[in-house]
């Protein structure tokens, strides 16, 4: 009778061992087939998102918003006016400038540039 109990005990242990090993194998297969590809996909998505954010930031810094403070010049045809926002110069002869008389814009820009250079040389 004790041999039957021992056989039953070892058979039960063997069955438990197979269930346990199947659980480990099942977990490893799940890890291999589901979890690891999911982690790889997550990391790829994070890399793509980071690269896209860097690209968007570089584009935003290059393009600007188009606000009035970023504009260099405004051409107002109904009033025949040109405003240079860098030096706060406004002239009311748009037709002459479009015909090629650019001295009215270039001379004040040169003076402003020279004054800025002189100011920076004095501060040094």
Q: How far apart are CA 91 and CA 97, in angstroms?
A: 10
Q: How far apart are CA 54 and CA 47, in angstroms?
A: 11
- Give the model's confidence band at 66: pLDDT under 50 very low, under 70 low, under 90 confident, else very high: low
Both tokens of 67, joined, read: 């606000």
Q: What is the pLDDT of residue 121?
A: 83
- DSSP H helices, the chain, are 2-30, 36-63, 94-98, 103-123
Torsion angles phi and psi, residue 45, rounded to 5: -60, -40
The residue ranking higher by pLDDT, 83 or 122, is 83
The overall pTM is greater than 0.75? no
Q: How far apart are CA 11 and CA 2, in angstroms?
A: 14
Q: What is the pLDDT of residue 2?
A: 67
Instruction: Give me the mean pLDDT over the 91-114 stretch.
Output: 90
pLDDT per residue as tens digits for the range 1-59: 567 777 877 888 888 788 787 777 788 788 888 888 888 999 999 999 999 999 999 88
Q: How far apart are CA 54 and CA 59, in angstroms?
A: 9
Both tokens of 59, joined, read: 């584009």
Q: What percent of the chain has pLDDT over 90?
A: 26
Instruction: Give me the mean pLDDT over the 76-94 stretch.
Output: 90
Q: What is the pLDDT of residue 9?
A: 76
């Amino acid at each position: 009778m004790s041999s039957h109990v021992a056989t039953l005990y070892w058979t039960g242990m063997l069955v438990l061992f197979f269930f346990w090993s199947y659980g480990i194998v099942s977990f490893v297969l799940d890890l291999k087939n589901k979890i690891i590809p999911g982690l790889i996909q997550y990391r790829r998505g994070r890399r793509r998102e980071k690269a896209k954010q860097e690209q968007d930031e570089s584009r935003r810094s290059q393009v600007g918003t188009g606000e009035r403070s970023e504009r260099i010049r405004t051409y107002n045809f109904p009033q025949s006016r040109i405003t240079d926002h860098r030096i706060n110069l406004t002239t009311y002869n748009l037709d002459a400038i479009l015909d090629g008389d650019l001295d009215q814009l270039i001379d004040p820009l040169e003076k402003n540039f020279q004054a800025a250079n002189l100011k920076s040389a004095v501060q040094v």
